[in-house]
Chains A and B, each alone.
Chain A
Amino acid sequence: MTARRINLRVNGRTVEAEVEVRVSLADFLRGQLGLTGTHLGCEHGVCGACTLIVDRRPVRACLMLAVQADGSNVETVESLGTREALSPLQQAFSDHHALQCGFCTPGMLMTLEAYLRDHPAPTREEIREVLSGNLCRCTGYQGIVDAALQAAQVRRAPA
């Protein structure tokens, strides 16, 4: 298999790695970097579980090759808060019971993280539209919408 050397930033750290050209960004992050917070739900770009942020934009990590991320800045769910200090968005997810099994959650968080940076005051309808590319089988979505609105508010006016 052909491999290439890539350089990128992942969650603020510089990463240099040799990677097979056919390996997806998701498999690279999970397999080679051990960042297993990014989940694979469909591997054909519909469910959104593998969503992460590449150069400020939400990306399906199952549809992007690792070599395409060469020179990019990649942010995964591990870049948000910690268990002891959740980010406002993560805290809102817990407050509003926006997760059950937790499998789609990292993709939900990264989709919303990317959106809220550019859209600090979204409406309920806008949030539902933005989430239309992320499937969740557990929650029925309502808690996720509530959480996104709370997080937006907290980010606008931190306590």
Chain B
Amino acid sequence: MSTRYFGAPVARIEDPRLLTGGGRYVDDIVLPGMLHAAFLRSPVAHGRIRSIDRSAALAIPGIHAVYTMTDFAGIASGPMPPMAPHPLLQTPITCRPLTDDEVRYAGEPIAIVIADSRASAEDALAAIALDIEHLPAAADARAAAAKAAPRVHTERESNLIATMRGTHGKVDAVFASAAHRFTESFATHRGGCHGMECRGVVASVDGPSGDLTLFTSSQSPYMVRRFLSSYLGRDESGIRVVAPDVGGGFGPKANVYPEEFAVALAAIRCGRPVKWIEDRQEHFLATTQQRDQFWTLEVACDAHGRMLGVRGCCIHDNGAYAPYGLILPATALASFPGPYALQAFDIAIDVVLTNLVPTSPVRGAGRPNTAFVLERLADGVARRLGLPREEVRRRSFVRAEQMPYVTGGKMRDGSPVAYDSGDYIGALDLVLDKIDAAGFERRRGEAAKRGRLLGLGLASCVEDTGLGPFEGASVRVTPSGKVVVSTGAASQGQGHATVFAQIAADALGVAIGDVIVRSADTSAFPLGLSTIASRIAVTAGSSVEIAARKVRDKAIKVAAQLLEVAEHDLDINDGAVHVAGVRDMKVTLATIARTLSGAAGVALPKEIEPDLAATGYFETSQLAFAYGSQACEVEIDPETGDAKIIRYVVAHDCGRLINPKLVDGQIRGGVVHGIGNALFERMRHDVSGQPLTTTYGDYLLPAASEMPDIEIHHIETPSPRNPIGVKGAGEGGTIPAAAWVISAIEDALGSRAPPITMHPVSPENILEWLKTIKA
């Protein structure tokens, strides 16, 4: 097998188009007769609508309609279908496309205005007279969990919707016999996704057929089709959903949203195409976020600091609905025990509704939270026992010779977790070597002379990637010799087209420039799930490999007949099947494709079906576990509390690298997202549930001027669990990042400062902690 492209830092085939302004995002789509939508959203976190008077809005020139849910009664009604049903959720907790009479978070859609232009639609919002009764709101998950708390849904008896439990081993016995135990509480916070493109939808109905087409900035176009089909009571064949270029996903765009349904309903109702483009304030209000988890955990270790067990509980802020079931808390739970070979654990997560926008996974999902608490516990063990932090980890990690390692944990579907391969201690040692941990104390001393506090941070993680059951692909050679790869897997900038083209080009011996990749259009490939959970390289990548190999085998079979030679004498390269060792005895893939395209009255080659094409579904229930260690140095200015990241080194193993340049990009982007979670990004609400951070002046994203250069070292342990040996790379940068930044800050502040148990950490926090040292 030739691997000219697999493993090479090939330039992206997406780039020339995107670099020249040729991207086609939802807002770039213009359809004839298209109208524009704006949403009237709840101004309060909890309320009951008394009346909506739309007469003044409808009197404004250019306003076509103001719809509430009752206006769609003849088309569809009721709550949206749940995306991920869970046995613990006996009744789904989903919203309506437009609310009925109760609103449960500030920003919940109430009505949709349809107008000639977006500006006119927004003008009309101000003219709608909304009379709303304020109801008490539950804005903090800890308070909302209490029995006396205001109900997020007035008709529900409790805001606690599920308690999830993960247990392994003889917990009580392990804790009873442990040499040391201690308890710590943590508050982890993650904000929103903040792809630079907000959400957007264009819906249109074909007049004669009534077929519905939806363009949406989604990670899950096939889920949108599936749930629209069930909600509208229409067969999938009459619904086409396309995710065109999407300007970043990072998790929340995987949800099926009320706005997608409302825009579709409005287009059906008014009979004209309708476009809605979310603005950035709406993104803060109504795109799912991740927000808060509050943990209390006890860790047990032996006399040498080897971690033996962890137990405790977590309160998870789920927001006002559970559109995505319990995926987010379930992912946090499934991330135990991380890289640690624990004899026992017992973790309970209380999932609590609040009157805030619903939560769903943001890059890393619940894994960064779990990595944060586990890494903080490991640092805590080191601190209490006076051991080097890396030594606690060396003693506690799963060792390479234990692979495959059954952790005792369970996956989200309840199946046992078994890590497939890797050397966790090796990754840790590599990163310590590369950052020159041995020379750190000297550098700390030099910084002290300049009046700066230098800290070294380290953190590790294991990440389940390649979530099954499948993402399929078809590969087809056209009569002109082009190779068309089609897949349901949607892309939001990861460079899927390039890596699929690399895989197909190698299998078929063609130039990468001859491969065309089409994706995320339900009319182009029958099935798809979602681009989530670092799963596409494993699932769709493997399916491209399988489909391309089938096409290769078929081409060789046909060529054997055409050239009258045995199949084993044939090889495939340069766009043709060649007789090995005989120059110019060849038949091109184009010729074979033309032959299999058929000609009236001409027989096909014997026992060969038409079309030089094949479909592949790599089906898997097993996960590929990526892992990594990160280390960094943070320099603190004790006068301002500013924490500046000086150096950052990553050791990462995501199996075989299809395209190292793209993997590096995934890791760097992921790390920077994690730095944002460590130092900058906090979604604030007041006590009544009003969002306070709804601009980029208030909510800080990482900027180029604050970010370090990030040094990456790859370890390539092929996964035995898929045909191309890869593991996902999309989230491994993010998962341990907040943990290491905090580890470094704690190290810089020294052992007299309190342990840091929360993030994001602000300069104000740092100054407060420095005061406690002085006092």
Contact A93 B194 (CB under 8 A): no
Q: Does A106 contact B (CB under 8 A)?
A: yes
Q: A132-B705, A135-B701 are in contact. Are A78 and B20 (CB under 8 A)?
A: yes
- Convert A119-159 into 0s and 1s, putting 1 for each residue whose CB lies closer than 8 angstroms to a CB of B: 00000000111011111111111111100000000000000
Q: From residue 7 to 37 of chain B, which have CB atoms closer than 8 A to chain A?
A: 11-12, 14-25, 27-28
Q: Does B73 contact A (CB under 8 A)?
A: no
Q: From residue 471 to 522 of chain B, which have CB atoms closer than 8 A to chain A?
A: 492-495
How far does the Cβ of A143 sit from chain B's closest Cβ, in whole Å? 6
Task: Across the interface, name the chain B residue whose C-beta is closest to A130.
Answer: B704
Task: Across the interface, name the chain B residue whose C-beta is closest to A89.
Answer: B19
Q: A128-B704, A129-B705, A140-B671 are in contact. Are A102 and B665 (CB under 8 A)?
A: no
Question: Among the listed stretches A2-10, A36-44, A53-61, A63-71, which one makes contact with chain B, having 4 or more residues with CB under 8 Å of it?
Answer: A36-44
Could you say which residues of chain A place their CB within 8 Å of the CB of B119? 22-23
Contact B15 A37 (CB under 8 A): no
Q: Does A114 contact B (CB under 8 A)?
A: no
How far does the Cβ of A89 sit from chain B's closest Cβ, in whole Å? 9
- Convert A87-129 into 0s and 1s, putting 1 for each residue whose CB lies closer than 8 angstroms to a CB of B: 0001001110101111111100100000000000000000111
Contact A39 B196 (CB under 8 A): yes
Q: Does B280 contact A (CB under 8 A)?
A: yes
Chain A-chain B contacts (Cβ-Cβ < 8 Å), number: 177
Contact B25 A141 (CB under 8 A): no
Could you say which residues of chain A place their CB within 8 Å of the CB of B247? 39, 41, 101-104
Could you say which residues of chain A place their CB within 8 Å of the CB of B248? 100-101, 103, 137-138
Q: Does B423 contact A (CB under 8 A)?
A: no
Q: Does B250 contact A (CB under 8 A)?
A: yes
Contact B20 A140 (CB under 8 A): no
Contact A142 B709 (CB under 8 A): yes
Q: Does A74 contact B (CB under 8 A)?
A: no
Return the contact of B19 from the options A46, A94, A136, A144 (Cβ within 8 A): A94
Could you say which residues of chain A place their CB within 8 Å of the CB of B15? 93-94, 99
Could you say which residues of chain A place their CB within 8 Å of the CB of B196? 39, 41, 47, 49, 101, 103-104, 135-138
How far does the Cβ of A2 sit from chain B's closest Cβ, in whole Å? 13
Alpha-carbon distance A102/B493, docked complex (angstroms) = 7
Contact B195 A144 (CB under 8 A): no
Alpha-carbon distance A137/B697, docked complex (angstroms) = 16
Q: Does B197 contact A (CB under 8 A)?
A: yes
How far does the Cβ of B20 sit from chain A's closest Cβ, in whole Å? 5
Alpha-carbon distance A101/B665, docked complex (angstroms) = 11
Q: Does B260 contact A (CB under 8 A)?
A: no
Alpha-carbon distance A72/B175, docked complex (angstroms) = 74
Return the contact of A145 from the options B14, B198, B493, B704 (Cβ within 8 A): B704
How far does the Cβ of B702 sit from chain A's closest Cβ, in whole Å? 8
Return the contact of B707 from the options A42, A78, A93, A140 (Cβ within 8 A): A140
Q: Does A80 contact B (CB under 8 A)?
A: yes
Q: Does A19 contact B (CB under 8 A)?
A: no
How far does the Cβ of A79 sit from chain B's closest Cβ, in whole Å? 9
Return the contact of B16 from the options A30, A94, A103, A131 (Cβ within 8 A): A94
How far does the Cβ of B256 sit from chain A's closest Cβ, in whole Å? 21
Q: From residue 710 to 758 of chain B, which have CB atoms closer than 8 A to chain A?
A: 710
Contact B11 A43 (CB under 8 A): no
Q: Does B279 contact A (CB under 8 A)?
A: yes
Could you say which residues of chain A place their CB within 8 Å of the CB of B665? 97, 100, 138-140, 143
Contact A37 B12 (CB under 8 A): no
Contact A141 B704 (CB under 8 A): yes
Could you say which residues of chain A place their CB within 8 Å of the CB of B492? 101
Q: Does B151 contact A (CB under 8 A)?
A: no
Alpha-carbon distance A3/B235, docked complex (angstroms) = 46
Task: Across the interface, name the chain A residue whose C-beta is closest to B119.
Answer: A22
Task: Across the interface, name the chain A residue whose C-beta is closest to B492.
Answer: A101
How far does the Cβ of B423 sit from chain A's closest Cβ, in whole Å? 26
Contact B280 A44 (CB under 8 A): yes
Residue total for B at the interface (Cβ-Cβ under 8 A): 55
Q: A39-B196, A128-B705, A137-B248 are in contact. Are A105 and B18 (CB under 8 A)?
A: yes
Contact A46 B23 (CB under 8 A): no
Contact B669 A81 (CB under 8 A): no
Contact B696 A95 (CB under 8 A): no
Alpha-carbon distance A80/B16, docked complex (angstroms) = 12
Contact A140 B25 (CB under 8 A): no
Could you say which residues of chain A place their CB within 8 Å of the CB of B443? none
Contact A39 B16 (CB under 8 A): no
Could you say which residues of chain B place their CB within 8 Å of the CB of A101? 195-197, 245-248, 492-493
Return the contact of A99 from the options B19, B672, B704 (Cβ within 8 A): B19
- Convert A9-52 into 0s and 1s, putting 1 for each residue whose CB lies closer than 8 angstroms to a CB of B: 00000000000001100000010000111111111101101000
Q: A131-B705, A135-B696 are in contact. Are A40 and B21 (CB under 8 A)?
A: no
Contact B12 A97 (CB under 8 A): yes
Contact A44 B22 (CB under 8 A): no
Contact A94 B11 (CB under 8 A): yes
Task: Across the interface, name the chain A residue whose C-beta is closest to B668.
Answer: A140
Return the contact of A144 from the options B23, B193, B704, B706 (Cβ within 8 A): B704
Could you say which residues of chain B place their CB within 8 Å of the CB of A104? 196, 247
Task: Across the interface, name the chain A residue whose C-beta is closest to B712.
Answer: A142
Q: Tell me which of B119, B665, B709 has the highest count of chain A C-beta atoms within 10 A of its own C-beta.
A: B665
Contact B280 A142 (CB under 8 A): no
Could you say which residues of chain B place their CB within 8 Å of the CB of A133? 703
Contact A103 B14 (CB under 8 A): no
Task: Across the interface, name the chain A residue whose C-beta is closest to B246.
Answer: A101
Alpha-carbon distance A82/B16, docked complex (angstroms) = 8
Contact A40 B27 (CB under 8 A): yes
Could you say which residues of chain B place their CB within 8 Å of the CB of A97? 12, 661-662, 664-665
Could you say which residues of chain A place their CB within 8 Å of the CB of B668? 139-140, 142-143
Q: Does B621 contact A (CB under 8 A)?
A: no
Alpha-carbon distance A25/B21, docked complex (angstroms) = 17
Contact A132 B703 (CB under 8 A): yes
How far does the Cβ of B245 sit from chain A's closest Cβ, in whole Å? 7
Task: Across the interface, name the chain B residue whose C-beta is closest to A94.
Answer: B15
B contact residues vs A (CB 8 Å cutoff): 11-12, 14-25, 27-28, 119, 193-198, 245-248, 250, 279-280, 492-495, 661-662, 664-665, 668-673, 695-697, 701, 703-707, 709-710
Nearest 9 A-B pairs (CB), nearest first?
Answer: A37-B21, A101-B493, A103-B247, A102-B18, A140-B668, A46-B696, A100-B493, A131-B704, A132-B705
List 26 A-B pairs, Cβ < 8 Å.
Answer: A30-B28, A37-B20, A37-B23, A39-B27, A42-B695, A44-B695, A86-B16, A86-B20, A90-B19, A94-B11, A99-B15, A100-B495, A101-B195, A102-B19, A102-B23, A131-B703, A135-B703, A136-B704, A137-B669, A138-B196, A138-B248, A138-B493, A138-B669, A142-B707, A143-B668, A145-B704
Can you add 12 more A-B contacts, CB < 8 Å, to A39-B196, A137-B673? A36-B27, A37-B21, A39-B25, A41-B196, A41-B197, A101-B245, A103-B195, A129-B705, A132-B704, A132-B706, A138-B248, A140-B671
